[in-house]
Amino acid sequence: MTLPSSSFSSAVVGASVDVVLPCLDEAAALPWVLGRIPDGWRAVVVDNGSRDGSAEIAAELGATVVREPRRGFGAACHAGLSAATAELVCFLDCDGSLDPAQLPLVVGPVVDGTADLVLGRRRPTARGAWPLHARVANAELARRLRARTGAPLHDLGPMRAARRADLLALGLGDRRSGFPLEMVLSASAAGMRIAEVDVDYRPRQGRSKVTGTLRGTRQAVHDMRTVLAAPPPTLLVIAKAPVPGRVKTRLTPPCTPEQAARLAEAALTDTLTALSRMPAGRRLLVLDGEPGPWLPAGWNVVPQVGGGLDARLAAAFAQAPQGAPALLVGMDTPQLDAVGLAEAFSPAARAGVDAWYGPAADGGFWALGLARPTAESAHRLLDGVPMSTETTGAEVLDRLAASGLTVRHLPQLTDVDTAADAAEVARLAPEGRFATGWREFNGLIRAAR
């Protein structure tokens, strides 16, 4: 089913696309593969340790060559994604089994806005193109994916397309054979719309590095089981409704109470928007007050309990379902890196981690995560901890250590409390709503003097 370029819309043909081609000893297939990349699209060949001159052949044929010395399909895909600069990114095996001329079929639904991640459903064109044992295993995996994600998938196909920014936001951590599966599961958990289109599947050139060896098959099964066994985290944001006089009072002066409340709303919106792109099983806003039009879709609101901040933080963890990790953050760090958080909570990065801790510059903490959250464990860690002091974070770390928990440290961030904090956070995240609001109000304050 090779289609001429005239079969595709001008928007697809003229799209900004990088095609990532993980490559390990594919010298025989490369000329055909690279010769069929659509005009104007860039081929990014990721050489994963080839010994047959694949990298040199790819360079001679005009491809951008990226070298990834760490062996693994996921490592090569990740290197290619990191090197990509186009708005849209495609992935494609480099063995000649899939026709690059059909890539516009998978790009089309992304361009026209009907899907966010599109996979090519392989349709064999010749006997022996898809061995029976591999087809049966793939069908079972697709069945489990449909049951878990609701996506109408029948094949975990290696030809796929999505927007680069969406894929980076997933923070994919697998660097071996679980990468394609993690992409689909994480995309679903991030609310991306997943679709598939039919593509031709030809006999590959050479032996498969996965199903072609016993070791490769065992490794692939192990990697995919690890990914399947890791449920997406619960995201908890604890916040006050942005009401004048109740939030960001240390910003008044120089701000008016109304301006401080608008900055608080902007910080909360930036935080919720960023975390909306991170894979999650549930997203809960633990709120003191009433939600407003600033609440993004996909977030459920639960009320805060009474008592001090220590008790309210502990009670927030009680809202998280058991069986999945939970991450709690506040509304005062709109500059948080959701991609880094997604990477820290990827299945591969969770191994051996019991807790995640994000220190704040003032001695507190901006994030706390638990691999196995329970109301009992949260109260044991937080009840009675003096909040908003220079030693708050040290006290929590001491309790984590006393509980025998292995802690992964997240980057230190600055809480927005004072005008100096606000200026620093606006500098670090200049594109956000908070930074825009701060610049506006700062200009008004200066003009009034």
pLDDT at 216 over 70: no
Considering the entire predicted model, what is its pTM?
0.89
Which of the residue ranges 216-225, 309-318, 406-415, 438-447 would you say has the lowest mean pLDDT?
216-225
Question: Which fold, 234-448?
Answer: Spore Coat Polysaccharide Biosynthesis Protein SpsA; Chain A (3.90.550)
The Cβ-side half-sphere exposure at 2, using a 13 Å CA radius, reads 8
pLDDT of res. 414: 97
Sign of the Cα torsion 257, 258, 263, 265 reads positive
What DSSP element (H or E) covers 106? helix 103-111
pLDDT at residue 7, rounded to an integer: 57
Q: Where does 5-228 sit in CATH, by number?
A: 3.90.550.10
In single-letter form, the type of residue at position 80 comes to G
Q: How many CA atoms lie within 13 A of 249 on its CB side?
A: 5
Q: Where are the beta strands (DSSP E) in 71-208?
A: 88-91, 117-124, 160-163, 194-201
233, 327 Cβ separation under 8 angstroms: yes
φ, ψ for residue 16, nearest 5 deg: -85, 105
CA distance 198 to 258: 55
Rounded Cα distance between 14 and 353, Å, is 45
pLDDT over 90 for what percent of the chain? 82
Cβ distance 410 to 340 under 8 Å? yes
Query: Is the pLDDT reported for residue 209 higher than 90?
Result: no
Q: How many residues does the chain have?
A: 449
Averaged confidence pLDDT in the chain: 92
Q: Where in the chain is the domain with CATH 3.90.550.10?
A: 5-228, 234-448
